[in-house]
Structures are given as C-alpha cells and as structure tokens.
Amino acid sequence: MKLFFAPLQGYTDCLYRRIHHDTTGGVDAYFTPFVRYDNGVIRNKDVRDLSPDRNVGVPVVPQVIASDASELEPLLDWLQHLGYERVDLNMGCPFPLQTGRGRGAALLQRISSVAAMMSLLASRKEMRVSVKMRCGMSDIAEGVDVAEMLNDFPVEMVTVHARLGVQQYKGTVNEEAFQMMMDVLHHPVVFNGDIVSVDDITRVVSRWPGLYGVMVGRGLLARPTLALEWRQGGSLSPAEVLDIALQMHDRLFDDACRLLNDDNQVLARMRAFWEYQKPLVDKKVYKRLMKTTSLRNYAAAVRTLS
C-alpha cells in the first residue's frame, strides 16, 4: 500500500520535500506543486523547484497543469530535457484562477481536450504517466465519463480527490462518489481527501482493500510524522512530534537563509511552515512567530520551543 505526499503550492517546495524525506520520510513519492505556463513561460520558481540538483535522492513526481495539448507539450519537452521520466497530470485543482482558464478540474467538463492530452502523453513512450482528478467539476457524471475514457490509455495510477471541483475544499468528502470512480477505473486508484490521522488512513484502507495507495497533503503538513507512524503501527506523543518538527524547522530555516533573497522572504517561508504546526505550539509563541519582522526576534521565539 503506497503513501504519497500531495502537492501544496507555497508549502511542499524542494526545500521542504528534501527535509521531510531525510528527517521522517515514510512516503513513496512527493508530488510537486503543479508547473504551468504563465504568459508563455515557465515561472522561475518552478524552474528552481524542479532543478535536478535540488531534488537528488528524493522520489519526486512533477505535476503539470494545462488547458490543452498545445499547452502541455512544451511542459513535457522541458521535463524530459531535465531528465524526468514520470509526470502527473492535474485534473483536480478547483481554484477559479485555474478552472477559469480551462485547467485543473475544469478539464473534466472538456473530455475532448482530455483525450487529446492523454494521446500526447501516450506518445511519450519513455515517460510514465499518472493523473490526479476530482469526481467531477460540477457533477459526478463528468468524472465517471473521464474515468471511462482514461481506461483506454496507459496510466500508472489515478488519484481521486473525493469532492467535486465546485466544492473546492468545503464540506466532507463524498465516499459514495469515490466508490463510483473505483467501480469504473481499470487503473490502480489512490484515495485523496481529508486524511489527517493514522486512523483515517487505516479506515480508508480497510474500506477499500484494493486501493493502490493513499495521498495525503494537509494532514502531513500538520503532522509530518503521519506516514511514518502509520507504517510503524503506533502514534508519537505531541512532544515527540514537536521535536521532529523542530528538527525540520532548523534545516528549513538554514536553507531558506542561504537560498532566499532577503529576510522578508525567509520569514514568509517560515510562517508557511508554522501555519500547519499551530496545534503543537503555545498560542503566545505562535503569535510571535507569525508577527515578527526581524530574523533575530524570530530565532529568539523559536528557541522558547526547545
């Protein structure tokens, strides 16, 4: 049973992925935040994030987002030039900035575009392909139709987030809709959505013993040890989790200071780290961490946690 770390923009960058892999691990692969074209170019932050020298030894799967095959093709060319042999197609992003451009979950309403993109991917014989999708954009029938079409193409696995695109991340996951997708898909299926504890993983695996894997995003950010705990069959105490989080923090802080341009960028990156560690931290200390504009004061606040 595979465990995968879902991509989250602004959080699971190459710095975080390497540190998590070295410090706690427990996941089979880290899916990168999606790469896209903006005004005909790949963003510099994506170029840096997928640079092979920043990902050596880390099991990374680049994720791409595009509205059609013409937008997808140069992304594949670029990834292959970098030496990547696997790619994940995003058909799940629910945010209007992407769906409004026909990307992400909006593709589930444009099945002819999906077919063209899958044909392009299938033509890249040297590149393994996976897909991340929703159960539909506004209706489950959309997801089912796309799933049936995906059965005609070589796909390593399909990750299904058990919500509709219009829900974004509101409400609860729809396990009945996920079951419908399971029934249709002939490819290995991965469950995604609202996994925040060892018990959640155990429950999902028990309900669907035929799953290929589980993909976790926010749950792993909030509890970096989650995958390791599930594999070891036991839970760590809050103090033990905080200790590991602090080990990760120290490495992330050092890397951010070395690689980012100024103090404000460093502090912004570290605030993103603490945003998901809030339950482990004293409220007053958390407020200091999030409000300080000085690296010196920030470091002093962190020392109170040790």
Rounded to 5 degrees, what are φ and ψ at 192?
-145, 140
Domain of 37, CATH number, reads: 3.20.20.70
Contact 120/69 with Cβ under 8 angstroms? yes
Beta strand pairing call for 60-61 and 63-64: unpaired
Are 138 and 10 members of one domain?
yes
Domains: count for the chain: 2
Are 6 and 59 members of one domain?
yes
Length of the chain counted residue by residue = 306
Are 284 and 219 members of one domain?
no
Contact 169/192 with Cβ under 8 angstroms? no
Tokens 């706690």 locate to: 24
Give the structural domain span for 170. 2-232
pLDDT in tens, the chain (306 residues): 999 999 999 899 999 999 999 999 999 999 999 999 888 899 999 999 999 999 999 999 999 999 999 999 999 999 999 999 999 999 999 999 999 999 999 999 999 999 999 999 999 999 999 999 999 999 999 999 999 999 999 999 999 999 999 999 999 999 999 999 999 999 999 999 999 999 999 999 999 999 999 999 999 999 999 999 999 998 899 899 999 999 999 999 999 999 888 899 999 999 999 999 998 899 999 999 999 999 999 999 999 997
Predicted local confidence at residue 68, as pLDDT: 96
Are 53 and 136 members of one domain?
yes
pLDDT digits (tens, 9 = 90+) for 58-116: 999 999 999 999 999 999 999 999 999 999 999 999 999 999 999 999 999 999 999 99
Are 186 and 287 members of one domain?
no
Predicted local confidence at residue 260, as pLDDT: 87
Amino acid letter, residue 238? P
Are 288 and 161 members of one domain?
no
Are 185 and 38 members of one domain?
yes
Integer Cα distance of 113 and 146 in angstroms = 11
- Residue 271, token pair as written in the block: 């605030």
Three-state secondary structure string covering the chain: CEEEECCCCCCCCHHHHHHHHHHCCCCCEEECCCECEECCEECHHHHHHCCHHHCCCCCEECEECCCCHHHHHHHHHHHHHHCCCEEEEEECCCCHHHHCCCCHHHHHHCHHHHHHHHHHHHHCCCCEEEEEEECCCCCHHHHHHHHHHHCCCCCCCEEEECCCHHHCCCCCCCHHHHHHHHHHCCCCEEEECCCCCHHHHHHHHHHCCCCCEEEECHHHHHCCCHHHHHHHCCCCCHHHHHHHHHHHHHHHHHHHHHHCCCHHHHHHHHHHHHHCCHHHCCHHHHHHHHHCCCHHHHHHHHHCCC
Are 205 and 265 members of one domain?
no
Are 94 and 242 members of one domain?
no
Largest CA distance in the chain: 57
Predicted local confidence at residue 40, as pLDDT: 84
Are 252 and 277 members of one domain?
yes
Predicted local confidence at residue 105, as pLDDT: 97
User: Which of residues 232, 265, 285 is at a domain's end?
Assistant: 232
Instruction: Name residue 213's beta-bridge partners.
Output: 2, 190
Angle between helices 238-259 and 295-303 (to 10 degrees): 160
- Give first-to-last CA distance, the chain, whole Å: 35
Are 207 and 254 members of one domain?
no
- Residue 143, token pair as written in the block: 């997801």
Are 143 and 258 members of one domain?
no
User: Which of residues 232, 253, 285 is at a domain's end?
Assistant: 232
User: Which of residues 232, 266, 288 is at a domain's end?
Assistant: 232
